[in-house]
Amino acid sequence: MQHGWVRASEQPWVRRAADWVRQVEESYAPYLTDFLTPRERYLAESVARGAGIHVEAFGGYDGAERVRLLLLPEPWPTSPQDFEIRALHVVAPEGAFSHGDVLGSLLGLGLKRASVGDIAIAAPLQAYVFVTKPVARYLQDAWARVGRTPVIAQAVDEIPPLPPPPYEPKEIFVVSPRMDAVVAQACQMSRKDAQSLVASGRVELNHAEAPPDAEVRPGDVLSVRGFGRVRVLETVGQSKSGRWIVRVGVLRSRREVR
Specify the pLDDT at position 238.
87
Residues 36/42, Cβ–Cβ less than 8 Å: no
Mean residue pLDDT across the chain: 89
Torsion from C-alpha of 35, 106, 63, 201, nearest 10 degrees: -90
Specify the pLDDT at position 164.
67
More confident residue, 72 or 241: 72
Q: Which of 9-23, 59-73, 141-155, 197-211 shows the lowest per-residue confidence on average (mean pLDDT)?
A: 197-211
Non-local CB neighbours of 72 within 8 Å, separated by 6+ positions: 24, 30, 53, 54, 55, 56, 78
Specify the pLDDT at position 3.
44
Q: What tens digit of pLDDT does each residue of 126-153 get?
A: 899 999 999 999 999 899 999 888 999 9
Q: Could you count the other beta carbons within 10 Å of the beta carbon of residue 77?
A: 7
Specify the pLDDT at position 163.
65
At 160, the pLDDT band (50, 70, 90 cuts) reads confident
Specify the pLDDT at position 2.
40
Bridge partners for 85 per DSSP: 132
Mean pLDDT computed over 181-188: 93
More confident residue, 213 or 140: 140
Q: What tens digit of pLDDT does each residue of 80-122 get?
A: 999 999 999 999 988 788 878 898 999 999 999 999 999 988 8
Q: Has residue 167 got a pLDDT over 90?
A: no
Residues 121/76, Cβ–Cβ less than 8 Å: no
At 256, the pLDDT band (50, 70, 90 cuts) reads very low
Q: Has residue 258 got a pLDDT over 50?
A: no
Report the candidate in 217, 204, 183 with the shortest Cα–Cα distance to residue 46: 217
**Exposed, middle or buried by CB within 10 Å (0-12, 13-18, 19+), for 133?**
exposed
Mean pLDDT computed over 216-243: 89
* Percent of the chain clearing pLDDT 70 (strictly above): 95
In this prediction the pTM is 0.77
